[in-house]
Amino acid sequence: MTDTIINSVKTGFEATYGYAPTGVWSAPGRVNLIGEHTDYNEGFVFPFAINRHTFVAISLRDDKLARISSSFSPEIHEVEVTNIQRTESNDWAAYPLGAAWAIQELCSSLGKSISATGFDCHIESDVPIGAGLSSSAAIECAVALALNELWDAGLDRRQLARAGQMGENQIVGAPTGIMDQSASLLGETDHAVFLDCRTLESEAVELGFAVEGLELLIIDTKVAHRLVDGGYASRRAACELGASKMGVGSLRDLSIKDLVKAREVMDDVTFRRVRHVVTENQRVLDTVQSLREKGPRSIGQLMHASHESMRDDFEISVDELDTAVETAIRHGAIGARMTGGGFGGAAIALTPVEKIGEVSLSILAEFELLGYGKPDIFPVSAAQGAKREV
Ligand code: GLA
């Protein structure tokens, strides 16, 4: 499969630009096991890189032109590499261009001088788009890793994650945190990335799903999810308001016992947003500990509590996600929750292998009964992070 896409992205490059690329780099999408909307609150997250990837074929040019093409759009975007800005016409090309812009920005803020020459770039991906599996971070990280090498920028993987996030914030215009890029760059086979978003310290924690006869099912509801829409930004603003009402720099500084005071000093909606983040941080810590001490079959309750908190307190779930979660649990999943930014996208269900058929068929049947669109259901496994392929 991987070899087929590598060949096809090379062929696509050659057909578009008329010569062979210097190399092909890949970066995976991610799924978040637990820890939602905690990253931009300097909290904890626990995602893993998945076995779905974006591949980029790239060559440097002699001039300053950046040309970006892909298998999913007939357009070729062209821009001066030293003049990348946020514009409407960037469209999907804002992701690769954002990464190219951010590497230059980051290097200049670190006092590193690089010669950012132009490049030709062709992209192909099997990360589903809009499913909350970070197809965008996969593009950013693959391009960032490639340009870091070709421009000899010498940034490490944590800095590249920061570059991906900067590009997404400033060139795409989505006020997202650093979780997705960190998972895509730091992922390891069969491990999740336990990341402290304040210090950016991370640890790979073994998942052990296969040994325990478990698989993680993705239920892509196909309900559109876009991080540039207002819901994500308004949740982020509510968190900032809650932190300021409590006199702290970020919600990371609060613990569960502070919720008594929080309820007194803010309105009910802000309080519930804050309660989600504070309890979710604790659930990440509990999940990591439980996984280590008792194995993956012990984390189901925490996953479900996370879903309920997002549904009731953070209010970012939709009916299709709730249906997927409840149906999965009713038919044998150990735990299930929506994953990613919310307002659509995918749910995950940690499911014993012998129950996969029943869980999948029940969700399909329930969606049909309720008149929802047909979801896409497939398993994912924890994969290695971004790398050079050829
Ligand atoms: C999106 C963002 C992440 C994170 C999640 C919610 O995936 O890109 O930074 O905030 O939503 O946990």
Q: Of all atoms in ligand 1, which is nearest to the CA of residue 178?
A: 9
CB-CB contact of 374 with 364 (8 Å): yes
- The CATH code of the domain that includes 237 is 3.30.70.890
Q: How far apart are CA 16 and CA 77, in angstroms?
A: 12
Whether residue 180 lies in the annotated active site: yes
Separation of CA 252 and ligand 1 centre (Å): 16
180 lines ligand 1 (CB under 6 A): yes
- Together in a domain, 71 and 193: yes
pLDDT reading at 334 higher than 70: yes
Q: Which residue minimizes the CA distance to atom 9 of ligand 1? A: 177
- Together in a domain, 195 and 276: no
pLDDT reading at 230 higher than 90: no
- The CATH code of the domain that includes 69 is 3.30.230.10
- Together in a domain, 76 and 132: yes
- Together in a domain, 190 and 235: no
Q: Give me the pLDDT at residue 91, please.
A: 86
- Together in a domain, 110 and 192: yes
Domain that holds residue 40: 2-206+383-388
- Together in a domain, 248 and 154: no
pLDDT reading at 89 higher than 90: no
- Together in a domain, 27 and 105: yes
- Together in a domain, 130 and 226: no
- Together in a domain, 81 and 141: yes
Q: Provide the pLDDT confidence category of residue 228 given band limits of 50, 70 and 90.
A: low
DSSP secondary structure, 321-380, as one string: HHHHHHHHHHTT-SEEEE-SS-SSSEEEEEEEGGGHHHHHHHHHHHHHHTTPPPPEEEEE
Q: Give me the pLDDT at residue 231, please.
A: 93
40 lines ligand 1 (CB under 6 A): yes
pLDDT (average), residues 228-254: 95
- Together in a domain, 197 and 255: no
- Together in a domain, 202 and 218: no
Express each pLDDT in 97-154 by its tens digit.
999 999 999 999 999 999 999 999 999 999 998 888 999 999 999 999 999 999 999 9
Per the confidence metrics, is the pTM higher than 0.95?
A: yes
- Together in a domain, 196 and 247: no
Only one residue has tokens 């090379």, namely 10
pLDDT reading at 229 higher than 80: no
Give the torsion through C-alpha atoms of 183, 185, 187, 188, to 10 deg. Answer: 180
Number of domains in the chain: 2
43 lines ligand 1 (CB under 6 A): no
Q: Give me the pLDDT at residue 47, please.
A: 98
